[in-house]
Structure 1
Amino acid sequence: MRIIYSCFILLSSFYSLAQEVKPEVKPLVKIDSLYREDQFYFSITYNMFTDIPQQFKQNKFSLGLSGGFLRDMPLNKNRNIAIATGLGLSYQNYFQNLTISKDASGTIAYGVSDYGQFVSNRYRQYTVELPIEFRWRNSTFESYKFWRIYGGMKLSYIFSNTSILDDGIQTFRINNNKDINKFQYGPYISAGYNTWNLYIYYGLSPLFKSAATVNGDKLSLKTLNAGLIFYIL
């Protein structure tokens, strides 16, 4: 009986131990094979001009800000090649010595003046943006940190613009200048890692219409913006 009792106790101990030690169950990871890089974007740039007239100069920091949303549309199985299109808004500010004023008849006049000839001079505009881009990245469904190169075209519509010139005698404030080309377009590229990316945009369309001239020469200013762009999921 003692032997039977001892075997019973031993079997009970093994059963209790088996009940306490449970096999580890690893959670199943669901692979999102349809992930996208739909993103909000925000950029900050230094604004410059190309195709400038003689003696044209910029001073201070000409700031540009833009933000919007991009819809990602992958083109391959790995989803690291895609196209994207979106919608955004931008604010562009320029400090320079291209003066915009009005003559005695009320006609808009353009000139290039030395900085000592006026107190302050600035031009700013607000636009609606439509970016269309081709995308390459080495992302995966489980990682939001990756290298990227995005490039494409941006179409813009200037819905508001203002120039302000203080020549020390009077202030000329011109809103929605009729000589401004409201429709703008140009290529851009952004490249970087994770959130931080370099960005550059070159405008192909002149800022002013052909009617705008300086000293008899056509005013052919084009915009060039360089800075940083941030992508946020």
Structure 2
Amino acid sequence: MRSSFYVVYLVLFRCTIGVFAQESPAIHTLAPDSTVIDHKYKEDQIYLGVSYNILLNRPEDVKQNNLSRGIQFGVVKDMPLNKRRNIAMGIGVGYAYNAHFHNLQFLKGDEGMQYRVIPDSVDYSRNRMEAHLLEMPIEFRWRSSTAATYKFWRIYAGVKLGYVFAEGYKFVGDEKTKFSNKDISRFQAGLHLSAGYNTWNFYAYYGLRNLFEDGVVTESGEQIDMRSLKVGIIFYAL
């Protein structure tokens, strides 16, 4: 058993070395001899971002509270389109977590889900919906980079596709309630933009699809067509 483990370990180790040997990350500093520059460099292939999440198209009297937030990270394959390599396409895969705090209560019953604005007479400390997504960003990239510098301007814009693989709802009041909600739309899509210089970059995302499935209404009969707007910062590496 132990010998088999060592064989697998050696195979994985050699494969890993081979992958890194075939394609190295972007290099923006001169080589030790100060004469060789990597003219095949690539940019910003790892990203990490945080955001404040805003619910658009909220039903009447629905308000946000606490700090609705999001986090995202992933990798992007950078594909330069010109000789200077400052114009490129990017396609990647990543993970995102989004939490929204509001006063729209989810009530789970025998006849399905019901939604109501929490009455003023109800004392509660938390009312949250959250989602975990697998995302695919597709973007057009412009930057002022060169092969010998790592500080530059960038503007990246495109679409982001998402699949909600896990979600949940939590209410904390006199009693605690926690459950999964199948009314949440599994497939998401939106426009996204990041722009900035060097480390600090502004990030924005506008959802094109509703957060809930079609036909979901409040107890008063109002359609729930909420979408997400995210604003924050994003960091890039490699």
Superposition deviation, residue 66 in structure 1: 0.6
Matched residue count: 205
Determine if contact 1:200/1:225 at 8 Å carries over to the other structure.
Answer: yes
Residues 179 and 211, structure 1, Cα contact 8 Å, conserved in 2: no
Q: 1:101 to 1:167 in 2, by over 3 A?
A: farther
8 Å contact from structure 1 (residues 100, 109) kept in 2: yes
Contact 1:101–1:172 (8 Å) recurs in 2:
no
Is residue 104–residue 117 contact of structure 2 (8 Å, CA) maintained in 1? Answer: yes
What's the counterpart of residue 3 of structure 2?
none
Q: 2:65 aligned with 1:59, yes or no? A: yes
**Cα distance 1:223–1:79, how it changes in 2: closer, same or farther (>3 A)?**
same
Instruction: Please name the residue that 1:199 is paired with.
Output: 203
Structure 2 regions of 5+ residues with no counterpart? Answer: 1-32
Shift of 1:194: 0.7
Q: 1:99 is matched with which residue?
A: 105
Aligned counterpart in structure 2 of residue 150 of structure 1, from 151, 156, 167:
156
Determine the C-alpha separation between the residues in 2 that align with 1:72 and 1:115. 51
Contact kept, 8 Å, 2:47 with 2:75, in 1: the verdict is: yes
Among 35, 42, 47, the residue aligned to 2:41? 35
The 1:116–1:32 alpha-carbon spacing in structure 2 relative to 1, beyond 3 Å, is: farther
Q: Which residue of 2 aligns with 1:187?
A: 191
Per the alignment, residue 111 of structure 1 pairs with 116
> Are 2:44 and 2:236, in contact at CA under 8 Å, matched by a contact in 1?
no
Shift of 1:217: 1.6
Matched, 1:171 2:176: yes
Max Rg structure: 1
Deviation of 1:167 after TM superposition, in Å, equals 4.4
Amino acid at match of 2:49: S
Partner residue, 1:162: 168
Tell me the TM-score normalised to structure 1 length: 0.84
Q: Distance in 2 between matches of 1:28 and 1:41?
A: 29
Residue equivalent to 2:214: 210
* Match in the other structure for 1:125: 131
Tell me the C-alpha RMSD between the 2 structures: 1.6
Q: Does the 8 A contact of 1:123 with 1:163 survive in 2?
A: yes
CA–CA distance in 2 between the matches of 1:51 and 1:224? 10
CA contact (8 A) 1:101 1:165 kept: no
Q: What is the rounded CA distance, in whole Å, between the counterparts of 2:112 and 2:121 in structure 1?
A: 24
TM-score by length of structure 2 reads 0.82
Q: Determine the C-alpha separation between the residues in 2 that align with 1:174 and 1:194.
A: 42
Query: What is the rounded CA distance, in whole Å, between the counterparts of 2:47 and 2:209 in structure 1?
Result: 24
Offset at residue 114 of structure 1 (A):
4.4
Cα contact 1:153–1:187 (8 A) shared by 2: yes
What whole-Å deviation, never above 9, does each CA across 1:134-168 have from its counterpart, x for those lacking one? 00000000111100000000000000000012342
After TM superposition, which residue ranges in structure 1, 4 or more long, deviate above 6 angstroms? Answer: none
Give the corresponding residue for 2:228.
223
